[in-house]
Amino acid sequence: ALRHYDMAASTLHAFPVTKEYAAALMGRGLSHTCLHDFPQAAGDIGQARLNFEAIGDRAGSQRAEQYRGLLEMERGRPADAIPYLRNAADAYARLGDVDQYIFGLTSLFDAHALQLQWEQAWEVSERGWKLRDEVRHPGQRQWLYVDRLRALVARGRLTEARLLLAEARDAGASAEAPLNHHLTAAALELAWAEGDHAAAVALAASLRQSGSG
């Protein structure tokens, strides 16, 4: 991906004030993020945002904001990621872009959860849960279930969490494998909270066997 985005950015450098050039920069920045080359990632994403702003592309600008938040998450700085992710999610809400809004909320949920800020994570989950019937992508719906389940467990609402887990498994029968791994991890948290340590150990073993850590 980095090689292709770098080629695109180099080719489009002669046309800096264009959506295509900004998109190439942002793709290259995301590639650098995945490779943990964070200075290069920050430079590309920051320049992409400036270019999107220059051409009045608000959606592109907010996507760059979100990518900067994901960069901070990847470098292990969830506290630094929160302002970027919150700003992007709020902007998507104003733009009426439900799919991107949900993606922003799930990223924001993770940032709070990593810091054990469960009250804030619950508030984020509430925002997304209200829109679950409007979400078109099955993967995003599954993420909403995972976040909601984890938030319920953190609040000690274990009966509701158990019912939701069954619903999530039915709804996510065709979900992508990584999402099913995350649902299994949430089920592990529930089993442990319920005191069913044998089930928790079995779920942990299944995650290890599937290679998800």
The arithmetic mean of pLDDT across residues 67-96, rounded, is 94
123-171 pLDDT, tens digit per residue, is: 999 999 999 888 877 788 888 999 999 999 999 999 999 999 998 887 7
Q: At what angle do helices 138-154 and 98-114 cross, to 10 degrees?
A: 30
Tokens standing for residue 120: 């804030």
- The amino acid at 109: F
Q: Which residues of 85-117 are buried (b: 16+ CB within 10 A; e: fewer)?
A: bbbbbebbbeeebbebbbbbbbbbbbbbbeeeb
Alpha helices, H only, 75-174:
78-95, 98-114, 118-129, 138-154, 158-171
Using alpha carbons only, give the angle 12, 13, 18 rounded to the nearest 5 degrees. 65
**Mean pLDDT, all residues of the chain:** 91
CB 91 within 8 A of CB 62: yes
Write down the pLDDT at residue 99. 87
Write down the pLDDT at residue 39. 96
Write down the pLDDT at residue 140. 84
User: Which CA distances in Å does 186 have to 41, 52, 93?
Assistant: 31, 37, 27
Distance, in Å, from the CA atom of 15 to the CA atom of 5, rounded to the nearest integer, reads 15
Tokens standing for residue 135: 């979400």
Q: Give one DSSP letter per residue of 183-212, joined into a string.
A: HHHHHHHHHHHTT-HHHHHHHHHHHHHHT-
pTM above 0.75, yes or no: yes
Tokens standing for residue 193: 């909270």
